[in-house]
């Protein structure tokens, strides 16, 4: 199958490698471009752990500190793996979403042990921080990167849609799902996506879709392994 991967480039390359191992052909078309924000080195003073809600948050944080001993509380396995790859030695994974991370942090940390630093993007929601503050924790948000939306599909993707040579598309966030639909509408290709099977990492991502597709599948868990299983769990 030919599968459209809409993640930021560095993450998309990893997904493409896994798809190729599953004998699918990946077409990479990042709908978000990650831009790390420059700034001074971040101090660990008073910080007990880092909250990492994305692999890009980890990468951005790693650019702004040489401290690899600070504990990293990651939202899921991919984010945890990114933290380990960046050299962080003390990494825990909530293996879920932001709600799962908030519940896990309440078990891993103490409100009186110091601040929790959230390595966030500009577009990050505030629910994780709000939930932890309600539980008595002090949370410090550090905006370390931004995800800039694409304004159009690549010529290769547009041609593939016009020729009906794509079988499926993967969406890892509500924002990327919205951007895809906006770009398709801008090109007037709404009818051309009706044959696609789309696989979404969460119900929120699926609900962000505004076009009609052959089928919309939702991963059983909000991680890449579950999403790829969702892709291959039924015959097209």
**Triad 161, 167, 172: Cα angle to 5°:** 90
Predicted pLDDT at 108: 97
**Share above pLDDT 70 across residues of the chain, in percent, rounded to a whole number:** 98
Radius of gyration of the chain (CA): 19
SS3 of residue 220 by DSSP: coil
Nearest to 56 by CA among 115, 118, 121, 135: 121
Using the Cα atoms of residue 185, residue 187, residue 191 and residue 197 in order, give the sign of their dihedral. negative
Do the two domains 2-31+150-232 and 34-147 of this chain adopt the same fold? yes
**Residue whose tokens read 């890892």:** 172
In this structure, are residues 58 and 191 in contact, taking their beta carbons and an 8 Å threshold?
Answer: no
Query: What's the topology of domain 2-31+150-232?
Result: Rossmann fold (3.40.50)
**Lookup: tokens for 49:** 């752990």
Predicted pLDDT at 231: 85
Q: Is the pLDDT of residue 35 over 80?
A: yes
Pairing of strands 215-218, 197-200: parallel
Axis-axis angle for helices 174-187, 155-162 (nearest 10): 70
Average pLDDT of the chain is 94
Predicted pLDDT at 205: 96
Predicted pLDDT at 236: 43
32 — phi, psi (to 5°)? Answer: -135, 135
**Is 34-147 in CATH node 3.40.50.10090?**
yes
Q: Is the pLDDT of residue 235 over 50?
A: no
Nearest to 94 by CA among 63, 65, 58, 53: 53
pLDDT in tens, 142-182: 999 999 999 999 999 999 999 999 999 999 999 999 999 99
pLDDT in tens, 69-100: 999 999 999 999 999 999 999 999 999 899 99
Residues 126-133, mean pLDDT to the nearest whole number: 94
Domain extents for the chain?
A: 2-31+150-232, 34-147
pLDDT in tens, 177-214: 999 999 999 999 999 999 999 999 999 999 999 999 99
Nearest to 137 by CA among 157, 109, 165, 161: 109
Q: How far apart are CA 178 and CA 205, in angstroms?
A: 8
Predicted pLDDT at 234: 43
Residues 222-232, mean pLDDT to the nearest whole number: 90
Nearest to 59 by CA among 84, 40, 93, 41: 84
């Amino acid at each position: 199958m030919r599968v459209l991967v809409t993640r930021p480039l560095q993450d998309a390359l990893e997904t493409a490698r896994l798809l190729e191992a599953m004998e699918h052909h990946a077409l990479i078309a990042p709908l978000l471009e990650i831009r790390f924000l420059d700034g001074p080195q971040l101090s660990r003073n008073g910080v007990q752990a880092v909250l990492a809600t994305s692999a890009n948050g980890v990468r951005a944080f790693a650019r702004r500190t040489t401290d690899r001993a600070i504990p990293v509380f990651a939202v899921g396995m991919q984010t945890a793996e990114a933290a380990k790859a960046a050299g962080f030695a003390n990494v825990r994974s909530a293996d879920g979403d932001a709600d799962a991370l908030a519940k896990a942090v309440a078990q891993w940390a103490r409100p009186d042990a110091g601040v929790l630093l959230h390595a966030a993007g500009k577009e990050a929601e505030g629910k994780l921080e709000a939930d932890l503050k309600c539980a008595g924790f002090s949370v410090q948000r550090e905006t370390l990167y931004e995800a800039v939306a694409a304004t159009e599909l690549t010529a290769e993707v547009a041609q593939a849609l016009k020729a009906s040579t794509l079988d499926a598309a993967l969406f890892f966030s509500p924002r990327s799902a919205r951007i895809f639909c906006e770009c398709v509408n801008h090109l007037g290709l709404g009818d051309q996506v009706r044959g696609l099977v789309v696989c979404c990492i969460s119900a929120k991502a699926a609900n962000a879709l505004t076009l009609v597709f052959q089928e919309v599948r939702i991963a059983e868990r909000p991680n890449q392994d579950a999403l790829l299983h969702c892709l291959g769990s039924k015959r097209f």
